[in-house]
Structure 1
Amino acid sequence: MKRKLIKTLAVFTTLALTLSLSACGGGEGGAKKSEEASNIIIKNASVYTVDDKSSTAEAVVVKDGLIEYVGTEKEAMGYEDENSKIIDAQGSTVLPGNIDSHMHPAESAVQYCFEIGLQDFFSHEEYLKEIQRFVKENPDLEVYAGAGFMRSFYDSVGPRKEDLDKIVSDKPVILMSADGHSKWVNSKAMELAGITKDTKDPEGGVIQRDPKTGEPAGLLQESAANLVSDLLPEYSLEQYKEAIAWLQGWLNERGITTVYDGMIPVDNENYYMAYQEMAEAGELTIRVCGAWHMAPEMGNEKELRERIDKGIELSKGFTTDYFQVIGFKFFADQVLEEGTAYLDGEYTKELGGGHGIKVWDNDLLAALFTKIDKAGYQIHVHQIGNAAATYALDALEKARETNGANDNRHTFIHVQYLSKENMGRMAKLGMNAMIAPYWSVRDDYYYDIYIPYVGQEMADSMYPAQSLVDAGLNVATHSDFLVTEPDMGWLYYSAVTRTLPQKIFDFWYDGMDEYVRSPDTKATAEKGKYLIGPLKPYDERMKLEDIVKASTYGGAYANYMETEIGSIEKGKKADLLILDQDIFKSDIETVSNLKIKTTVFDGKIVYDGNKK
């Protein structure tokens, strides 16, 4: 997807200090579980339950992993015994655990732990210095993989192979862009993959070429990136476990207790068995749902059907409360930043016009959707352009006509452009809309990519949010990590204001005087300056209550877990957060800086900010 990754400042995270090869191996791995107590009583709280009445309460009692009581402090203290753990929330908000409904946790974790990370750097020269440093410190690796370079730093051809060749010429170097939709490679990688001047662009992909010589320049976009997939390093089961254990502790610190892995590879046993073995051993402090990845380049229709059958059989074995694969992930299109989102309108002349990439054949997509839908599994669709939504909905409606109505809760993720007509079609199908308010802001992408690529009118009509709620859709939230590091204050603030928080502005644009920030919709920038401010349409700004619901109950519902988590109600699993403020009494600027004081997962304290 879209956004530059934020290797965040020390003032609101410690991640930048731990993202190195030692990050996984040097810690205890996973979040610390609390000492045994007969129950946990959270008192003096502003409990926002997110139940169907949006009820509030003063206290919560947790016992045996479940919510025992929600109500007054006086009644809650009646549950106290000599072994109770009493937590004074000091008037702060208590919420259900945050649910990130589309990210790439295991994939991102191994990249952070074992590969080149460029997310901390903001120029081509800095990238090269970091690559050189990593190679020097890891001379024995057979392939140098990594991620995080910004596609927007380069022209349409992208970064060049020659720069990597100067650092490593005898081993492949393969670096994924921050948006996850292209790879920067050296000459050795292309040699081993058999990519030459005569290699044709694969369907749904582009091999960028030197405009003078026609030789591959070093950037492989979309499906063309798969040409080097066989060269990437393979990680052991223990490496995946190590990386997941590290990552989940960091997610707990950010208030996240449930995630959806949006692209589980059915052919990578180590990947999915790491989750499964940790779940069976009681080692997960997050709940993981997920989807098997499907792509047209994985085979013909027969082979794709067999892949679905394999995924379904594997899913039947994942029966714990902590890891389940409930769906199949499809790309309907790609991304606007690469000029590959499938749009109703055309890209500008600067990008060569055209409507972008339509990933699937209509009949094949309808056939696969019908098979998955009949089996009772969720269809999880990457959708950026409205044209992508239209043909994906055509396929989903054909599945409904064939199979009849059901409660499979199919999903569009990202939803950058969506017409009111298609919102209505989604509502009739009972679908989810997964949004990332982190991206619904006017930042440098607006000026450097969106206006040049699609024009002012389309740049001002992106990322519906409140209209999705008003259309009756179940709305959930996601970060697409590692595209964006999840942050609840940022999530809430940008959903409510469609503006970048001050703390993120200060980090991204430090020393860049050409950028000025204001959350005021009437603000303007003087000549030569760029306003980092609210993104139109302004009526897509969400109510705080709606974004809180989307990030809790909305995610639970999307994952078929609304009877177990997503709200604070008696009998539900005790996944809870204590914040450092009452967000419904604070101004929104203060909310943007919220911190998690305590995270409770399955009735156990897995993050205690007071012990840092």
Structure 2
Amino acid sequence: MSITHDIKRHLKLGCLFLFLFSGISCAEQNTQKVTADKVLIKARVYTVDVNNPWAEAVAVKNGKIIFVGSNREAQDYIAKQTKVIDLQGRMVVPGFQDAHVHPLEGVSLTTFMGCDLIPLSDTETNPETWIDELKKCNKIDFPHDWILGGGHAIQDVLKLKRMPKLVLDEAFPDKPAAFMEKSSHSMWVNSKALEIVGITKDTPDPQGGLIFKDPQTGEPTGLLSDSAGDELMHKALQRSPKLQQARYEALMLSQDFMAKYGLTSITNGRVYWERGNLEPWLRAEKEGTLKARSIMALWAYPHLQDDFQLPKLKSMYRDDRDSLLRLSQIKFYSDGVVINNSAAVVEAYNHLIHPFAKPFGLNYFTEKRLAKYITELEKVGFDAHIHGLGDRAVKESLNAIESAQKANSKLKLQTRHQITHVALARKEDIPRFAKLNVTANIQINHDTGDYGTGVELDKKIDYKHVHIDDPDYWFKIVGDVDVEFSPVHPIIESGGRMVFSSDWDVSSIDPIVSIQNAVNILDGKMSKDEAIATAIKGYTLNPAYIMRHDDMTGSIEVGKYADLVVLDSNLFELPKQKIKQAKVLLTLLSGNETYRAKEYR
């Protein structure tokens, strides 16, 4: 059946339904002679509305949708002052909603962390050869007193024959320097940085982190994993007028970048409020420069005392749903990442990347403490946004949410908690997502990788040199364990809610990359059209649910905000391996243009 035939069939059924239950025909819908501000016509509108999935036209007034239907009926909403956009058969979908992005970090390598290692690590994996290029970063005018950058892989630094800090000491003998590796879960620092923050051989590991030390001398090597790196960066990036201006400028760059990919709602997946990362957002709200509905997931600091942090977080809650800025989620890290052996796992790792790695990973927040925080904060209205990557972290996060539900039984049906990443999950935990109404927020947006088909493990493989860019690194480091890797279909099949997101800047921000990857993952488990519909819903209506505005956005329905995206191709008509070639032509937030492609003028 053709898409055009499908559109007409659904329009006729919608008209029949309207007539039977209201006595009004489609031709009589606009009896009040309402004039639209803007009308999109001759489009292939995929609404994500199960009652009316396809349409030809959309009318908008005062930022909201007032009509969804046929081209003929849309004429009733057009007057002289109406802006009519003839889309010539192009596809319209609800604005994409990315439930896990890091906007400030996403552009940091061009702003306040401007020493970019990506070109170096892409061309040469031996950091010893980078020293001359690194020295050039001394000339950058940073908005702080540090040399900051990132983009390397920790495996490259681990292969050094000397302590990593000594390489940076050659490039930066007088200034503190710190570089974030590409997963954002470790820092490579020089001796001056260690000195300033007071890290010595006697410094204990912080909760949720590791200070890499020489096995013989105990001296810090210059690598800091997870929360150990976070705590150093808290000191390096303390607020100052110059840095706050740089952060605001970075935020403005990120707004344009996100709009380019059709994003109309986002969740800032880690707001370091003690550093000053919230202030640029508050300024943007005040100055009216936000280009997306923005949910802040306030960071829960592992090192802060509960009697200080819990009241502070409660005081920050803000959830005016008509505002473009809302402070309504708390970001917890249960664990770290597989590549650092810091993801929390049930069975010991197949390979440890360094002598001090923990065989079962680590916890930023223990299950008991996580349950305490969720129990307290959901009373105020906060939803938990939990980083749970390893199978033990997923299990403990579900346990903590279940414990909070028992403690706050009256809130059980009101909370909208989520676990993000879910890279590994035990089979017995898969049904618990649906049972506990916990959303799985998974990233499948890398351009390469098999997303869970597995590899044969070979004891002869030199696992020490497994690289983060190797699509099979999870399997080689984790080993042959009985888990589901990126369990997209198992969670959907068990009735769980699936959200797709990018975790930008860790990987591609483009939602259409994820949509193609979802089709590949679900191939053989559902039809291509069903897989595309599932993926689009995972980037529109489902994230709108965990952002608590699914009654206002996420689908193209009368009464909802006109958050819309125009694509150059109909995703349902593209071959499955060419879906990601589709491009955003136009992004509308409340009917207002936030992005227009140069080729679409």
**Which range, TM-score by smaller chain?**
0.7 to 0.9
After superposition, residues 442-461 of structure 1 pair within 5 angstroms as 442=450, 445-446=469-470, 449-456=473-480, 461=484
| Superimposed CA distance per residue, residues 275-295 of structure 1 (whole angstroms, 9 cap, x where no aligned partner) | 223223322111100211113
For structure 2, list consecutive stretches of 5 or more residues without a partner in the other structure. Answer: 1-34, 452-466
Contact kept in structure 1, 2:68 and 2:557, CA below 8 Å: yes
Worse-matched range after superposition: 469-478 or 256-265: 469-478
Q: Which residue of 1 aligns with 2:296?
A: 290
Worse-matched range after superposition: 409-418 or 83-92: 83-92
Secondary structure of 1:60's partner?
Answer: strand
Contact kept in structure 2, 1:464 and 1:540, CA below 8 Å: no
Cα offset for 1:378?
0.3
Secondary structure of 1:337's partner?
Answer: helix
Secondary structure of 2:595's partner?
Answer: strand
Q: Which residue of 2 aligns with 1:86?
A: 84
**Correspondence for 2:437 among 422, 430, 433:** 430
Cα offset for 1:450?
2.4
Task: Give the number of the structure whose alpha-carbon radius of gyration is greater.
Answer: 2
| Superimposed CA distance per residue, residues 27-61 of structure 1 (whole angstroms, 9 cap, x where no aligned partner) | xxxxxxxxxx9622211211000013361011111
Normalised by the length of structure 1, the TM-score is: 0.81
Q: Which residue of 2 aligns with 1:331?
A: 333
| Superimposed CA distance per residue, residues 464-486 of structure 1 (whole angstroms, 9 cap, x where no aligned partner) | 11222222222212111111131
Pair 207,353 (structure 1): closer, same or farther in 2 beyond 3 Å: closer
Pair 407,61 (structure 1): closer, same or farther in 2 beyond 3 Å: same
Q: Aligned equivalents of 1:587 and 1:469: distance in 2?
A: 24
Q: Aligned equivalents of 2:441 and 2:527: distance in 1?
A: 15
Q: Aligned equivalents of 1:407 and 1:464: distance in 2?
A: 25
Contact kept in structure 2, 1:414 and 1:436, CA below 8 Å: yes
Q: Aligned equivalents of 1:79 and 1:130: distance in 2?
A: 61
After superposition, residues 21-170 of structure 1 pair within 5 angstroms as 39-53=37-51, 55-115=53-113, 116-121=115-120, 122=122, 123-124=124-125, 125=127, 128=131, 130-138=133-141, 142-155=145-158, 160-170=164-174
Q: Which residue of 1 aligns with 2:366?
A: 361
Normalised by the length of structure 2, the TM-score is: 0.82
Worse-matched range after superposition: 154-163 or 210-219: 154-163
Q: Aligned equivalents of 1:406 and 1:129: distance in 2?
A: 58
Q: Aligned equivalents of 1:264 and 1:369: distance in 2?
A: 17
Over the aligned positions, Cα root-mean-square deviation in angstroms equals 2.8
Worse-matched range after superposition: 432-441 or 105-114: 105-114
Q: Aligned equivalents of 2:217 and 2:525: distance in 1?
A: 47
Contact kept in structure 1, 2:519 and 2:531, CA below 8 Å: yes
Contact kept in structure 2, 1:41 and 1:62, CA below 8 Å: yes
Q: Which residue of 2 aligns with 1:477?
A: 500
Q: Which residue of 2 aligns with 1:265?
A: 272
**Correspondence for 2:223 among 219, 242, 258:** 219
Q: Which residue of 2 aligns with 1:26?
A: none
Which residue identity is paired with 1:430? N
**Correspondence for 1:562 among 533, 536, 550:** 550
Worse-matched range after superposition: 598-607 or 197-206: 197-206
Contact kept in structure 2, 1:117 and 1:147, CA below 8 Å: yes
Q: Aligned equivalents of 2:487 and 2:142: distance in 1?
A: 47
Q: Aligned equivalents of 2:167 and 2:269: distance in 1?
A: 33
| Superimposed CA distance per residue, residues 149-171 of structure 1 (whole angstroms, 9 cap, x where no aligned partner) | 22233437897111111111111
Pairing 1:418–2:416 present: no
Q: Aligned equivalents of 1:101 and 1:477: distance in 2?
A: 8
Contact kept in structure 1, 2:207 and 2:363, CA below 8 Å: no
- The sequence identity of aligned pairs, in percent, is 29
Q: Aligned equivalents of 2:377 and 2:143: distance in 1?
A: 44
Worse-matched range after superposition: 342-351 or 227-236: 227-236
Q: Aligned equivalents of 2:441 and 2:514: distance in 1?
A: 13
Pairing 1:251–2:258 present: yes
Pair 450,90 (structure 1): closer, same or farther in 2 beyond 3 Å: same
Which residue identity is paired with 2:152? F
Give the paired residue count. Answer: 534
Cα offset for 1:327?
1.6
Q: Which residue of 1 aligns with 2:344?
A: 342
Q: Aligned equivalents of 2:423 and 2:163: distance in 1?
A: 26
Pair 173,473 (structure 1): closer, same or farther in 2 beyond 3 Å: same
Which residue identity is paired with 1:138? D
Q: Aligned equivalents of 1:108 and 1:364: distance in 2?
A: 30
Secondary structure of 1:371's partner?
Answer: helix
Cα offset for 1:559?
0.6
| Superimposed CA distance per residue, residues 242-284 of structure 1 (whole angstroms, 9 cap, x where no aligned partner) | 221121111111111111011112324x432322232233221
| Superimposed CA distance per residue, residues 499-520 of structure 1 (whole angstroms, 9 cap, x where no aligned partner) | 9xxxxxxxxxxxxxxxxxxxxx
Q: Aligned equivalents of 1:348 and 1:540: distance in 2?
A: 36
Cα offset for 1:316?
3.3
Pairing 1:391–2:391 present: no
Secondary structure of 1:489's partner?
Answer: helix
Secondary structure of 1:578's partner?
Answer: strand
Q: Aligned equivalents of 1:358 and 1:606: distance in 2?
A: 40
Contact kept in structure 2, 1:276 and 1:318, CA below 8 Å: no
| Superimposed CA distance per residue, residues 291-350 of structure 1 (whole angstroms, 9 cap, x where no aligned partner) | 111132122x323xxx23222222238665200011211111111011111112210155
Q: Which residue of 1 aligns with 2:458?
A: none
Contact kept in structure 2, 1:433 and 1:474, CA below 8 Å: yes
| Superimposed CA distance per residue, residues 49-76 of structure 1 (whole angstroms, 9 cap, x where no aligned partner) | 0013361011111221111211101111
Q: Which residue of 1 aligns with 2:589?
A: 601
| Superimposed CA distance per residue, residues 568-611 of structure 1 (whole angstroms, 9 cap, x where no aligned partner) | 00111011001001111111222111101111111111111135
Q: Aligned equivalents of 1:129 and 1:101: distance in 2?
A: 40
Contact kept in structure 2, 1:174 and 1:232, CA below 8 Å: no
Secondary structure of 2:538's partner?
Answer: helix
Pair 235,81 (structure 1): closer, same or farther in 2 beyond 3 Å: farther
